[in-house]
Amino acid sequence: MTKQKKFLLVVSSQPYTGKTATIVGIAHQLKQRGIKLGYAKPLGTCFNVDDRLQDEQDLQFISEILELSPQQIKSPLLFLNEKTITDFLHYPLDDIDVVDYCQSMEADLVLVEGAGNLSQGNLFNLSAPSVAEKLDAQVLLVVKYDPLLIIDQILEAKGIFGARLSGVLINSIPHQQLDTMTNVIKPFLASRGVEVLGMLPTDRLLQSVSVRELVAQLKAKVLCRSDRLDLMVESLTVGAMNVNSALEYFRQRQNMAVVTGGDRTDLQLAALESSTNCLILTGHIPPQQLILARAEDLEIPILTVDFDTLTTVEIVDRAFGTVRLQESIKVNCVQQLIKEHFDLDQLLAKLN
């Protein structure tokens, strides 16, 4: 008698909550228990060519991290972008067969990643509720901690998925809020029939972004130490004050990216002598040779960008908010967090 294939659909109410990281962390634990896994993402949530490339890179990354064969991983059925939507409105497709897409995988348990929110894909009948129903899948909801939103988001998902909702993982919880989550919010949700399977505390490493990612986002030119682009940046600082104030401020920060003008040699030196992992120069003024020499010695990459300071800061801020799981150091971190803070036995019981 052949085993019946099971499906776990991992969803969120909004983008960038950590679905992919959750899947990677859970999959690591499941593989250790000898469960043959598959991974599918029916709807590629890309909005331009660069996003599509990133979606494909994510797929390749997951395949390598989880050591999946081509028969255990599936590219999206379609990519959600303006052209896809416009083409569909002119020439509607027949119902897209997500069941055959997932059933054809060589796996006992297929981890299916949902789109950016619960309604994306409605036009194609590929929204999270529709996919869950078609696959008869159990659902894991991933939410990012927000004291004003998480309870409503979780209760809304319970109303949508009903008994299919196996549980919830809440991540990025500030350490000072863990007691409230454990003693107040978790029991309340349990009283509404929702099991909180995991509560992941905020981790600075997971919130960080690599210098390599900043180079890509800023379309920056690397002036030195291109071999150190894997350094992780945890905070952003704008060097626009006098050097004494800057020194005091820099000493309070860790693993910074410092944005400053190419003419501010004093601030550049101050930044290099503190916990700086990346120096970003604006203003189309090249740094002095002594700055490049010092950065070479300290192994700190220097980038130059064509944007003004305000635009540069906005792009870097956005990068922090939409970090992707593309560094092995982050994978190890999330696998450890899931191991320590997620109830895998309870999830497996729900999956039967």
| Tokens representing residue 278 in the block | 């990346």
pLDDT per position as a tens digit, 33-85: 999 999 999 988 755 555 555 556 678 888 888 888 888 998 888 888 888 88
pTM of the model: 0.83
Query: Can you give the pLDDT at residue 302?
Result: 94
**The pLDDT of residue 1:** 40
Q: Which of 131, 147, 138, 170 is nearest to 41 (CA)?
A: 131
pLDDT for position 300? 93
Strand partners for 239 = 260
pLDDT digits 0-9 by tens, 105-115: 889 999 999 98
Per-residue CA distances from 239 to 263, 266, 308, 312 (Å)? 11, 10, 13, 13
In which band, very low, low, confident or very high, does the pLDDT at 262 lie, cut at 50, 70 and 90? confident
Phi, psi of 6 (to 5 degrees): -110, 155
Contact, 135 vs 42, CB < 8 A? no
Confidence label for 141 from pLDDT (cuts 50, 70 and 90): very high
Q: So what's the pLDDT on residue 53?
A: 56
**pLDDT (average), residues 91-103:** 83
- Cβ neighbour number for residue 178 with a 10 Å cutoff: 16
Q: Cα 78 from chain centroid?
A: 21
What average pLDDT score do residues 148-156 get? 94
Pairwise pLDDT comparison (131 vs 204), residue with the higher score: 131
Whether the pLDDT of residue 130 is over 60: the answer is: yes
The per-residue pLDDT for 246 is 64
| pLDDT value at 128 more than 90 | yes
301 Cβ neighbours under 8 A, 6+ residues apart: 211, 222, 223, 224, 225, 226, 228, 229, 231, 277, 278, 279, 295
Query: Is the backbone of residue 219 left (phi > 0), alpha (psi -120 to 50) or beta?
Result: left
Helix (H) or strand (E) holding 111: strand 109-113
Are 344 and 26 a contacting pair, CB within 8 Å? yes
User: C-alpha angle with apex 257: 251 to 262, nearest 5 degrees?
Assistant: 100
Q: What is the model's pLDDT at position 87?
A: 86
pLDDT value of position 2: 47
> Span 229-242, mean pLDDT?
80
